[in-house]
Amino acid sequence: MDGKQVWAEMLEGNRRFVRGERRAYDFASRRAELLAGQKCRVTLLTCSDSRVVPEFIFDTNLGDLFDVETAGNVVDEVGLGTIEYGVEHLGTPLLLILGHTRCGAVTACCREGGRGHGNLDSILDRLAPAVERARRDIDQAILENLRQTKREILEKSEVVRRHVAEGRLEVVTALYRLETGEVVPVE
C-alpha cells in the first residue's frame, strides 16, 4: 500500500470516528500477533493534547501508528530521530503531521510569547516564527505552524527527503477539529 492509499484509509477511519462507529478490534489477538514486531503504516507527529488521540481519531488498531507527540507538534532532534526511525526502519509510506484547533501551546505563544517559562521556552521558541507570520492570529498560527514543521522536517532530515525523492514516502499535513472530530488536509 502506498502513502496515498494509507492516507485514504486513515480518512475513512476518521469518518467512522466522526459518526461514532468504532471498529471492534480484538486487542488480545493483535497483541500476540505484534510480538513478532511492528509493521506500522503511519509515522505520525501530533500534539500531546489529551483530546487528540490518533488511534481514536483514525479508528486504528494496536501497531498501526508510530506516534511522536509534543506540545504544539513541534520537533527537536529527538523528535526528528523518532520520525526517521518510523520512516526508515519501520518503512511507513506516510508521514502525517497533525495539528488541531484550540491548541493550548499555540494559543500561549500568540498571547504571551516571550521567555521565562522554564523548559516551555524551547517549545515557544519553535512556535514563534509561525506565530509572527500569522500576526498572532491563533487559527492562522496553527496552520502556519503545520507548514513550518513540515518545512523544518524536510530541511533537517536527509532520511525524510530521500524517502520522498524515491517515491516511498508521502508527507501530509492536516488539522483535527476538536469541535466536530473531523480531520481536514492543510496545504
Pick out residues in 127-156 that bind Zn ion (CB under 5 A). Answer: none
Report the alpha-carbon distance of residue 177 to residue 58 in Å, rounded. 13
Contacts of 144 (CB under 8 A, 6+ apart): 130, 131, 133, 134
When the beta carbons of 75 and 103 are compared against Zn ion, the nearer one is: 103
Q: Which is nearer to Zn ion, 134 or 169 (CB)?
A: 134
Cβ 151 to Zn ion, closest distance in Å? 19
Among 74, 103, 108, 131, binds Zn ion (CB under 5 A): 103
- When asked if residue 47 is in the footprint of Zn ion (CB under 5 A), the reply is yes
Total binding residues for Zn ion by CB under 5 A?
3
For residues 57 and 103, which CB has a smaller minimum distance to Zn ion in the complex? 103
Q: Which residue has the cell 461514532?
A: 20
**Residues 6+ positions from 43 with CB-CB distance below 8 Å:** 66, 68, 83, 86, 87, 90, 92, 94, 95, 96
Contact positions vs Zn ion (CB under 5 A): 47, 49, 103
